[in-house]
Amino acid sequence: MQRPKISIIGAGNVGATTAHIASLKELGNIVLIDIVKGVAQGKGLDMSASMPIEQRDARIKGTDDYEDIKDSDIVVVTAGLPRKPGMSRDDLLKKNSDIVASVSENIKKYAPDSIVIIVSNPLDAMVYVASKVTGFPKERIIGMAGVLDSTRFAYFIAEETNVSVEDVNTMVLGGHGDMMIPLVRYSNIAGIPLSHFLSEDKIEAMVERTRKGGAEIVNLLKTGSAYYAPASAIVDMIEAILKDKKKILPCSVYLEGEYGAEGIFIGVPIKLGRNGVEEIIELELDNDEKKAFEKNVEQVRELIEKVNI
Ligand code: APR
């Protein structure tokens, strides 16, 4: 059996960290591409040199030639600008939609059978752009956001309750913005409801911190946005696909009536396996959750309307 091939477009903070974690997990051979000549090549070479110490067989090739992504099993798109303090993800819309559109043309041309994971922000609109440009079936075009938002929520809960991170299960629904919906009713610690461990106020504070989790890091870093947890979240998705794990993960996928939404990409729980999106899981929502989801849908629609493709 040949090693799987994972291509990562954008060799910046998120892209390079993803390549590093994926190589340490020996998930496959990696192609790292950037528009700035030398960046992907340099980082690829540097990472490759760590493989003998790490005792991992993964080739990491840096390049600026899209032909190198040929026959990829998975293509991850992290190309684009990150946020600066004071910017919302939506402020990135115009620049990043041009970048994601041009990257998507190349994916369509050179890796037409790949499963595509979009990471560039504003996420739900960028997945839409990639879907329009590639024309790939909805099973093979997926946005990474919910896995990141859920791991942030899980970390805050584990820290506050002083339990193992392994025991915390969380689910975050909706768009990747400040209105995202951490689902308290569908989150638990070792199967036990959060309310057993935490007061309502504490839970609400963590929900709010999760919504603003990205901004908290942008404000601290000042020169860019988060990348360690985003990269871990991407690798979780890559692993679920390549190992056909059929993991239940919240991802931004195309809805055709599920959750009452039609014709947009937004975060919902899916079953992720070797065929990509294998099932959309429709949770029962209460009235407040439904209302919040509808608001998220409206917001994502407004964004998409501003995208010119
Ligand atoms: N093709 C390939 N690479 C590109 C292109 C392009 N058309 N345009 C920009 N890039 C590259 C940049 O040269 C840079 O190396 O994308 C990389 C982005 O890296 P960073 O600036 O470090 O940004 P990062 O933190 O990795 O975030 C990338 O992911 O989480 C999102 O909001 C974030 O949209 C941002 C994206």
Cβ(171) – ligand 1 distance below 6 Å: no
For ligand 1, the distance from its centroid to the CA atom of residue 9, given in whole angstroms, is 8
**Structural domains in the chain, sorted by start:** 5-143 (3.40.50.720), 146-305 (3.90.110.10)
Residues 6+ apart with CB under 8 A from 229: 148, 151, 152
- Span 63-89, mean pLDDT? 94
As annotated, the active-site residues are: 176
For ligand 1, the distance from its centroid to the CA atom of residue 242, given in whole angstroms, is 24
Interval 86-108: pLDDT, tens? 888 888 999 999 999 999 999 99
Backbone φ and ψ of 191, nearest 5°? 85, -5
**CA-to-CA distance for 37 and 7, rounded, in angstroms?**
17
Cβ(234) – ligand 1 distance below 6 Å: no
- 229, 149 Cβ separation under 8 angstroms: no
**Range with the lowest mean pLDDT among 11-15, 89-93, 254-258?**
89-93
Interval 238-248: pLDDT, tens? 999 999 999 99
Q: Hey, whose CA ends up nearest to atom 27 of ligand 1?
A: 82
